Structures are given as C-alpha cells and as structure tokens.
Structure 1
Amino acid sequence: MSNPSQPDLTYFTILDATNLLEYATSHFAAIWIACDRSHIPRSPGYISSFVQRLQWEANTFVFPYTNICMVLNIHPTMPDLFHSIIGRFSRLQTRNTTGEQFFNEFFQYCSPHDPQLRSTRRVVTNYTHDWWKDHFDMLGFALPSLNVNEVMDMAIDHFEQLPLGAMLLPGPVVANRFDGAPLLNQILAVKARVQHLSDSLARMLQEKIKMAAEAASIMSQHEGPMDELEEALLNTLRS
C-alpha cells in the first residue's frame, strides 16, 4: 500500500480481510465483557452514547472491509458473534429496531461466552481508542476517522498481544504479490498461511522433543540413586 490515504487494494488479500474481521470480533467481545461487568446505571443517555460509539466501531472496523471483500469477491469466514452483531446493525440501520432495543439485544443475544468462540482468548490487554474503559456517556463524541493502513497496524498490534495458545495467530508475510491479480494473491496468501502453520507445528514438535530428551536425561541421572535407595529399604526390611 503506497498511499495511506488511498490504499492500493491490489495488495488486500483474503488473509488481510480475515485478520481484520477477527480483530473487529475481538473488539466487540472486549466491549461486551467490559460493559456487561460495569455497574454504571444504564440511563437513556448511556444507551444512546453506547450505540453511537458501537456504530463508530462498525463504521471503522467492519463495513469498510466487508465492502472491500465484496468488491474483490473474497469471502472470509465470519464468526457467529460477529454475524449476530452485523445482523442487528442492519436492522438498526433500516430502522427496524430502536437504539434501546439494539442495546438490549446486544447484551442478550450477542454474548461472546459461547464455548465455540472462546472469545476470552481473543481479548487482549490494550486496544487503541478503547472508549469503553472511560465514562463515555459523559464525554463528547470525538472518535477519529481511520484508514485501512492504520486499522491493519492496530490489528497487527492486537495479534502480537495475544496470549500463548490463543486461537488467533498473526498472519505470515506474503511475498511476491502480483498487481491486478487478486485471485492469485489470495492463493499466495493461503499458501503462506499453510507454510506458516507447518513451520509453527515443526517448531512446537522440536520443542516437545527437546523437553522429552531433557526429562529422560534427568530421570537417568536419578535412576542410580533411586536403585540404591530401594536396595537400602529392602535391606532394612530384611534385618
């Protein structure tokens, strides 16, 4: 992407889309968990401010990339939580539901605690523009307008913060991309992802083998003293 304000979507692959949508999913999960645990009274002003800010989340981290995916004819998998939220946003935008109804449905039907989602493995310590940690209902609605590059950088930072063993892993760097060939670039992205996973698995197996060898070495070092202790105990019982 040569120009941050006008990104070159030739280099936007299905891997980029998947990472960004997963990042957005973790955002919504973090918001849901933090606000659900909050004891702030849910006044009409609070609900209105919350819906406005959640709309900013959707306009910043969701809709631009779903539109890009449609233009480039790529279809990344959308988690159940994300799918549920987008469906309710669509109802809100078409005025088939009110802001208060949307707020109630968000906390009633969009729970990120589904065991299949394991959203707590997607939530990290620090998010940029984490408005839900502040008294957002008492603050002015001044949230920034972000471009594709800035959001991708934020997504990369998110993946780097994920705990060991998390479901989401930072994607590999895709080299040798071709201008004007989005399908070929998607294939290269998938190939890079498979190679990345293969290398990760190989490293994990090597670490396990090393740990097993170290454990066997320690056991062999203690085998002699244990035999001597066993013999001493047997002699004590015989005497």
Structure 2
Amino acid sequence: MSNSTISATIAAESMSDDMHLDLADIAGIFEYATSRLSAIRTKLESTRLTLPMKTRWIIGQYLNWEGESFTLPWMSFCAGLSISLPLSRNLQFFIGVLSMKQVGLVTNFEEVYNAFMTLPAALAGPWQKGRLTRTYWTPWWINTANMIADDDFLHKYPNCVEVQRIIAEHFQQLPEGKVLITPATLTIPMCTPVAQQLSNIHVEVLHEGQLIVKMLEDKVVKAKMVAATMLCMDIALGQDVVKAIAATKRLTKYLKREAAQ
C-alpha cells in the first residue's frame, strides 16, 4: 500500500470517529508533531555516529510513520476544509523529506534518516523547534541501541479520538500560561492575491473576448450594409448608364440627321 493510500485511509478512519475538531485542535496536532520531531532529533543527535546502517534504516521507517500518523492525514484534512496550515519550519522540512521519498527523490529509509539528521536540533523559538514535554505517546526513539522494526506498530495509526487524547496529555505537561500555538486560519477558495489576479485576468479576457465578438458582429452587419448599398448603387449606376447610352444614341441619330440636311 502506498503512503498516499495509507494517509487517505487514516483520514477516512479518523472522520468516522466521534470527531469534534476546531481550529485550535488542528494547530495543536501540528504543535505536537513539531514537538515530537524536536525530541526525536535531540535524542538521535547523541547517537548518530554510533548507529549501524540497519538501525538507521529502521529509524527511517519510524520517521515515515510519524508523518503518516501526525502530519500527512491532517494536512489532507485541512486542505479539504480550506484551512491554512500552521506548520513550523522544522515540520515543513520534514514533510519535504517525506514528499521526496514518495516521488522517488529519496529512495530508501536510510536516506530519510540521513535527510532528517540535517534538520537543525535547535532553532530560535519554541514554535519553530517544538516544546518538549516529559513524556510522549509511544516514544520509540528512546532505545535506539536495540531497535527493531515492529511491523504491527508500523501499520497501525492513531485515530481522531486517540490523537485528541494524545494532544490533551501533551498540553497538560506544558507550563501553565505558555500559549504559543499559531492558530490555523480558514481560507476562502479563490481569495488569495494570486487567485484574485487570475480571476481578474479571466474576467478581463472574457470581457475582451465578448467585445471582439461584438465588434466582429458589428463589422459583419456593416459589411452587409455596405454590400447592399453598393449593390443598390451598382443597380442605379447601371440604369443611369443604360439611360445615358440610349440618350447618346438618340442624340447621335439626331445630329446625323441634322448634318444630312
């Protein structure tokens, strides 16, 4: 099963639960995902030089699981509701790595691990690096020395209700009063500056197209009027010429008769 199929399945399963999400919940999910990435990165930094290739490959699998559990399905959910994603810089980088894996630019899970380890372990602000807590749900990164690939774990994902519970436990561990969530915001389709420009261009082109059609129609009408006028003129002119020729003939006969006398 492909990653995109898995993510779609997770999203569908999440929506089938008793789902009561608001914008703060969506922001909380991505805050938690960022915090987990920071905890994972901090732990792996202390062991990166001692991990064998097999372990790095397994870690790459678990990192992929992180994205499929706490990021990718919720990004799809937000996209369906036109919600602007409050993704930290670290989370954006991580999603970029997973995207490269999906399109084949990153070819295996060891490369996922190697790319993830280029992520800065500490950045300027808590929102960028995530706010670490004492405990995390299923902290698989704690014991990297004896890590194995748990296939049952790697193919099971938290549903909506479980995610809400996990997020609630995460915020209960944070110091009281530290509200650093960047709220998710709704975006109305076709209301971004670029979309507005494209819409305006579309309307102007449509309007100009209608004007051109109207002009051509007018030209056709004018052409018909001119043609009809010319036809009338030709007929009138032809009749005048015929009359002039007849008069000339009569005049010629008269002049010849006068000359003979």
Q: Does 1:150 align with 2:157?
A: no
* Counterpart-to-counterpart distance in 2, 1:136 and 1:149: 32
Deviation at 1:106, TM superposition (A): 1.1
User: Could you tell me which amino acid in structure 2 is paired with residue 163 of structure 1?
Assistant: P
| AA partner of residue 31 (structure 2) | E
Post-superposition CA distance 1:139-196 (Å, at most 9, x none): 2413242101101110110011013564546x9xxxxxxxxxx99xxxxxxxxxxxxx
Identity of aligned residues (%): 24
Instruction: Identify if the C-alpha distance between structure 1 residues 145 and 102 changes in structure 2 by more than 3 Å, giving closer, same or farther.
Output: closer
Q: Pick from 101, 106, 114: which aligns with 1:104?
A: 114
1:1-239 equivalences under 5 Å are 6-7=16-17, 11-38=20-47, 41-98=50-107, 99-108=109-118, 110-117=119-126, 122-135=131-144, 138-141=147-150, 142-143=152-153, 144-164=156-176, 166=178, 168=180
CA RMSD of aligned residues (A): 2.9
SS in 1 for 2:42: helix
CA offset at residue 101 of structure 1?
A: 2.9
- TM-score under structure 1 length normalisation: 0.62
Q: In structure 2, how many angstroms separate the alpha carbons of the residues matched to 1:150 and 1:8? A: 11
Name the counterpart of 2:238.
none
Looking at structure 2, the residues matched to 119 and 74 of structure 1 have their Cα atoms a distance apart, in angstroms, of 20
Distance 1:71 1:151, change over 3 A: same
Q: Report the Cα offset of residue 34 of structure 1.
A: 0.9
**Alignment check: 8 A CA contact 2:97 2:112 kept:** yes
Higher gyration radius (CA): 2
- Which amino acid in the other structure matches residue 44 of structure 1? M
What is the DSSP-based 3-state SS (H/G/I as helix, E as strand, rest coil) of the residue aligned with 2:168?
A: helix
How many Å apart are 1:17 and its aligned residue? 0.9
Q: What displacement does 1:41 show?
A: 2.2
Amino acid across the alignment from 1:145: Y
Measure how far apart 1:48 and its partner are. 0.8
Query: Which structure 2 residue ranges, 5 or more long, are not aligned?
Result: 1-12, 188-261
- Specify the alignment match of 1:179 in structure 2: none
User: In the alignment, residue 147 of structure 1 is paired with which amino acid?
Assistant: N
Q: CA deviation at 1:73?
A: 1.1
Q: How far apart, CA to CA, are the structure 2 residues paired with 1:81 and 1:154?
A: 20
Taking the aligned partners of 1:115 and 1:90, their CA distance within structure 2 comes to 25
Q: Structure 1 residues 137 and 93 mapped into 2: Cα distance closer, same or farther (>3 Å)?
A: farther
After TM superposition, the score normalised by the length of structure 2 is 0.57
Q: How far is 1:40 from its partner?
A: 6.9
Letter in 2 for 1:82: L
Q: How many residues align?
A: 169
Deviations 1:86-106 (A, max 9, x none): 011100111101333332221
Change (3 A) 1:135 1:103: closer
Query: After the TM superposition, which of the residue ranges 46-55 and 127-136 deviates more from structure 2?
Result: 127-136
